[in-house]
Structure 1
Amino acid sequence: MLFIIAMGSQSTAFLWARDGLPGYTAVTEQMPDIWNARYPAPVESFEPDAQLRALRVIDGGRYVYYYHFTATVLRTQRAAEGTEMTTTGRRSIEVWARYRPWLSAAERWDVSLVRGDLLPGSNRSWITVGL
Structure 2
Amino acid sequence: MSNERRVSPRMTEDLHFNQVDGPPRYARRTDKPVQYVVIVNAAGAVIGYVWANDEDDAAGWTVRPAGGDEAFNLGFIWATKLHEAKARGLAPTAALAEMIRDSDPSASSCVQAGSLSESPSLTALKELAAK
TM class by smaller structure: 0.3 to 0.5
* Relative contact order higher in (CA < 8 Å, ≥ 6 apart): 2
* Higher helix proportion: 2
Normalising by structure 1, we get a TM-score of: 0.34
* Higher strand proportion: 1
